[in-house]
Amino acid sequence: MQTPRTLSVLDRPITIEAAVSVVLCVILGARINAVPFAPVAGLVGIALLPALIPTIRRFRTIPTLLILLAVSLGAGVALTSFSSATHDTSMSLAISHSAMVVALIGGIAVLLFARAHIGTPWTAISYGAGMVGGIFLEPVSGSNAWRFTYSLPIAVLVLAILSMRPRLAPQLLALVGLGVIGLVNDSRSNSAMLFLAAAILLWQRFSRAVSKGRRRAGNIIGLILVAAGFFQLAQFSLLEGYFGEVSQDKTAAQIATSGSLLLGGRPEASASFAIIREYPLGLGSGTLPTGGDVTAAKTAMQQIGYDPNNGYVERFMFGSGIEVHSMLGDFWIWFGLAGLAACVVMVTTVVWGLEHRLRSAGLTALLAYLSVRFFWDLLFSPASSSMKFVTLTIALAAIAITETTPAGLRARDQLQQGADATVGVHSYPSMRR
């Protein structure tokens, strides 16, 4: 009797490329920075970029995205120079913002390179292991360690491990379990993302059982309806106190303040609109705010019932630059229309990747969770903190778009089941050209 093969990088002799892939993914996930916001592995990816171009070209939206990100670098510098007539500027600020984009380009390239040599699951696991290892490189939060330190890295690593054998029950159990732990530790937003990812997986199973058709528009509309319905259910549950009195009181206060749970919880969105309305072409990656900019932002926040005179606006949002607590807002203000266009391509990549996985009934808990988190970060999280998730999300979504041929899907399933296939974990037939 033939012994079934197991899913492991040891299925074949470990090559130098495979070993390098694991190391780079771990470093990238740990966010070991050469300069602020620029992981060493991302900069290595930039150095290797000329050799990786043939690999990158196989992923449908990635060349366009990387070109737009490169253009954003120049646009940020040009806008800074233009804004210097009315604003103070900072060379160090321009360098740190530009380094973040350079590292994003290199990070995506590294993950796609790793996927070609160790496969998608091991790429994600290595990245998640790096995120967990990175916990020990920074001080642990004393106020709420689970919420601010442990929850996100552990979620990525656990879901990445489960992506090796993407069975529904274990993935749902992990999502719900992590979500419940988050609620107990006052991590409402991340718990909501985990629960929404679980709802999307259930919807995938239900829609597949009801219809065997390949309906692209139906998948996208279905995702929107699931997200909207989940938001209403979550808001109702919080207001009714199903998740504790603390969450109930915070939710009621946020809705009373602005009339909306989203605006009440993220008043920085109002400041973003005010700055972008004043400077629709952007301000530049090294531009510092004026007193008028701060006043405009505060006025917009006051209009939704938020009191901005608490030091937060001056210290965090405008203390050392312009930070509107939104990746979309940051990219638009720092890099102008090129940054906005790059965000549009990222959205397209994630939505397209989700749709392809749903059509093939191959959506994993990891991609579902990262995709939900991507849209949240796009609107409500600083660009600098979003990079640790955006890099992995874009790479996995791009891989999902490319793995669409029947041969590619069969090969992926065989690898995940540990079958005696003719293709190892390092490549897929659909990628051989």
Which pLDDT does position 428 carry in this prediction? 36
Total of domains in the chain? 2
Would you say residue 1 lies in a domain?
A: no
How many Å from the N-terminal Cα to the C-terminal Cα in the chain?
35
CA neighbor of 364 nearest in space, from 108, 58, 177, 158: 158
CB 366 within 8 A of CB 124: yes
Residue 262 has pLDDT above 60, yes or no: no
Q: What residue type is 85 in one-letter code?
A: A
Contact partners, residue 401, CB within 8 Å, separation at least 6 = 59, 60, 61, 349, 352, 353, 356
Top mean pLDDT of 5-19, 211-225, 337-351 is at 337-351
Shared domain check, 375 and 425: no
Q: What is the pLDDT of residues 271-282, one digit of tens each?
A: 888 999 999 999
Q: What is the pLDDT of residues 203-256, one digit of tens each?
A: 888 776 655 555 555 566 666 666 666 555 555 555 545 455 545 555 555 555
| Separation of alpha carbons 368 and 359, rounded Å | 14
Percent of residues, the chain, with pLDDT higher than 70: 76
Residue 413 has pLDDT above 60, yes or no: no
Q: What residue type is 273 in one-letter code?
A: F
- In this predicted model, which residue has the larger pLDDT, 203 or 121? 121
Would you say residue 88 lies in a domain?
A: yes
Least confident of 6-10, 86-90, 195-199, 316-320: 6-10
| Separation of alpha carbons 129 and 151, rounded Å | 13
CA neighbor of 283 nearest in space, from 341, 342, 323: 323
Q: How many CB atoms lie within 10 A of CB 155?
A: 27
pLDDT classification of 144: cutoffs 50, 70, 90: confident
Q: Sign (positive/negative) of CA torsion 149, 367, 331, 97?
A: positive
Shared domain check, 414 and 324: no
Shared domain check, 306 and 237: yes
Residue 315 DSSP one-character state: I
pLDDT classification of 430: cutoffs 50, 70, 90: very low
- In order, the DSSP letters of 219-265 are HHHHHHHHHHHHHHHHHHHHHTTTT-HHHHHHHHHHHHHHSSHHHHH
What is the domain extent for residue 334?
14-402
CB 202 within 8 A of CB 368: no
Residue 57 has pLDDT above 70, yes or no: yes
Would you say residue 5 lies in a domain?
A: no
Percent of residues, the chain, with pLDDT higher than 90: 50
- Average pLDDT over all residues of the chain: 82
Which pLDDT does position 420 carry in this prediction? 33
Shared domain check, 371 and 428: no
pLDDT classification of 284: cutoffs 50, 70, 90: very high
SS3 35: strand
Shared domain check, 417 and 347: no
